[in-house]
Amino acid sequence: MSISKRLLALMSAFVVAILVLAGCGGGGASSSSGGTLTLGNIGWQENVAVANLTKAILEEDLDYQEVELQTLDVGLLFEGVAGGDLDAFQDVWIPNHTQLLSEVENDVEHLDPWYEGSTSFGLAVPTYMKGVNSIADLNQSGAERIIGIEPGAIITTKIDEHVIPEYNLKLEHEPSSTAAMLAEVEGLYKDKEEFVFPPWCPNPMCGEVSGWDPWGGTKDLGGMFDFRYLEDPKNSQGNLDEAATISAIVNEDLADDEPVAYAFIKNLRLSDKELIALEDEIAAADDNAAKGVQSWLKDNRDVVQPAIDAAKKAQ
């Protein structure tokens, strides 16, 4: 009888030890130790910047073993977060992505905007194309092409389904990728060729964002290129008089399963100057995002410290 009691005591102690090691004895283990995450990435500069910044902090400051970035078209990014294949996607533009968000809203949590500056997007021309102030001017502008971005982007769909037919444009729309678009535009711009493209801000192509009115229509912007947005009297691109916000969606279970990562993503905030500086550091590192992030963090760790502190409280 005494042997049975002794065995029972040993077995009980063994079970308790296992539960403690598993983190069950303290009401839940920290999900930051040795964990892995997958973040969605559409490949746009602001997404590359914020996703790689998140990856660096989670791995280096919050003990995650690996944070993978998976590049997909925008529709698949929303579906991936909703289905659990992706933990988060940090480049949600509202109202641009309102329809995509509505399709998954029951399976994701839409966080408050992490970007605190102004945004703009739409068709534009280089400022050396004189007298071209509206999309209605394009057939007589000398331009033959609209240099586009990813086929799944909202602006790409708008151009194909609304802009071209509503203005009866004769220009050829050539969707490609952000990187290909920028490379093509750089060459055309250098040679002073006529062309149309869909820039957006915040982005290094816009230069310093702070202080200008993104809805000034023909206002010149300083950056990689001097360009002006075109007026859109038919409203074919959507409601461009409403500046978009940039936010993140996370899987509905992330707060419970990965409270540390959730707290960091939820509390991260970047101003226009901070984001453009981060993007510039990545560009200066020959688009080596990891290297650019480390360079930016040397002088800007205080920017992300509040989010780090919030994440550590969640451990």
Report the CATH number that the domain containing residue 55 is assigned in CATH: 3.40.190.10
Please tell me the distance from the alpha carbon of residue 185 to that of residue 296, in angstroms, as a whole number: 27
Residue 9 falls within a domain, yes or no?
Answer: no
Does 75 have pLDDT greater than 60? yes
Does 122 have pLDDT greater than 80? yes
Based on the fold, state whether residues 142 and 61 are members of the same structural domain: no
CATH number at residue 162: 3.40.190.100
Residue 15 falls within a domain, yes or no?
Answer: no
User: Residue 74, Cα to own-chain centre: how many angstroms?
Assistant: 10
Q: What are phi and psi of 31, to 5 degrees?
A: -85, 5
Does 88 have pLDDT greater than 80? yes
Handedness of CA 172, 176, 177, 182 (dihedral sign): negative
Based on the fold, state whether residues 56 and 130 are members of the same structural domain: no
Domain end, chosen from 229, 252, 286, is at 229
Please tell me the distance from the alpha carbon of residue 34 to that of residue 47, in angstroms, as a whole number: 25
Does 116 have pLDDT greater than 60? yes
Based on the fold, state whether residues 125 and 225 are members of the same structural domain: yes
Lowest mean pLDDT among 151-155, 266-270, 288-292: 151-155
Q: For the residues 11-40, what does the mean pLDDT come to?
A: 53
Does 23 have pLDDT greater than 60? no
Q: For the residues 81-93, what does the mean pLDDT come to?
A: 97
Tell me the longest C-alpha to C-alpha distance in the chain: 100
Residue 79 falls within a domain, yes or no?
Answer: yes
Lowest mean pLDDT among 165-179, 191-205, 290-304: 191-205
Please tell me the distance from the alpha carbon of residue 41 to that of residue 218, in angstroms, as a whole number: 31
Based on the fold, state whether residues 43 and 79 are members of the same structural domain: yes
Give 18: exposed, middle or buried? Use CB within 10 Å, 0-12, 13-18, 19+: exposed
Based on the fold, state whether residues 68 and 89 are members of the same structural domain: yes
Q: Which of 184, 177, 151 is nearest to 75 (CA)?
A: 151
Based on the fold, state whether residues 103 and 185 are members of the same structural domain: no
What is the domain extent for residue 222? 120-229
| pLDDT score at 240 | 62
Based on the fold, state whether residues 150 and 212 are members of the same structural domain: yes
Residue 5 falls within a domain, yes or no?
Answer: no
Helix ranges (DSSP H) in 224-288: 254-257, 259-267, 272-284
Residue 165 half-sphere exposure toward CB, CA atoms < 13 A: 5
Please tell me the distance from the alpha carbon of residue 307 to that of residue 270, in angstroms, as a whole number: 11
Secondary structure (3-state) at 187: helix
Residue 282 falls within a domain, yes or no?
Answer: yes
Please tell me the distance from the alpha carbon of residue 155 to that of residue 148, in angstroms, as a whole number: 9
Lowest mean pLDDT among 15-29, 166-180, 215-229, 235-249: 15-29
Based on the fold, state whether residues 63 and 128 are members of the same structural domain: no
Based on the fold, state whether residues 112 and 257 are members of the same structural domain: yes
Q: For the residues 46-59, what does the mean pLDDT come to?
A: 97
Q: For the residues 106-132, what does the mean pLDDT come to?
A: 93
Q: How confident is the model at residue 119 (pLDDT cuts 50, 70, 90)?
A: confident
Residue 10 falls within a domain, yes or no?
Answer: no
Lowest mean pLDDT among 159-173, 181-195, 238-252: 238-252
Lowest mean pLDDT among 29-33, 93-97, 301-305: 29-33
Domain count for the chain: 2
| pLDDT score at 121 | 85
The pTM score is: 0.77
Q: How confident is the model at residue 214 (pLDDT cuts 50, 70, 90)?
A: very low
Q: For the residues 124-148, what does the mean pLDDT come to?
A: 96
Residue 236 falls within a domain, yes or no?
Answer: no
Of 215 and 88, the one with more pLDDT: 88
- Residue found under tokens 């226009």: 272
Based on the fold, state whether residues 256 and 210 are members of the same structural domain: no
Domain end, chosen from 229, 257, 281, is at 229
- Residue found under tokens 């194309």: 129
Does 18 have pLDDT greater than 80? no
Question: Average pLDDT of the chain?
Answer: 85
Does 127 have pLDDT greater than 50? yes
Please tell me the distance from the alpha carbon of residue 226 to that of residue 172, in angstroms, as a whole number: 22
Q: How far is CA 215 from CA 11, 141, 226, in A?
A: 71, 22, 16
Does 226 have pLDDT greater than 90? no
Domain end, chosen from 205, 229, 253, is at 229
Q: Which of 62, 93, 59, 66 is nearest to 77 (CA)?
A: 93
Does 53 have pLDDT greater than 90? yes
Q: How confident is the model at residue 256 (pLDDT cuts 50, 70, 90)?
A: very high
Based on the fold, state whether residues 128 and 183 are members of the same structural domain: yes
Please tell me the distance from the alpha carbon of residue 82 to that of residue 88, in angstroms, as a whole number: 9
Residue 274 falls within a domain, yes or no?
Answer: yes
Based on the fold, state whether residues 77 and 125 are members of the same structural domain: no
Work out the percent of the chain whose per-residue pLDDT is above 70: 82
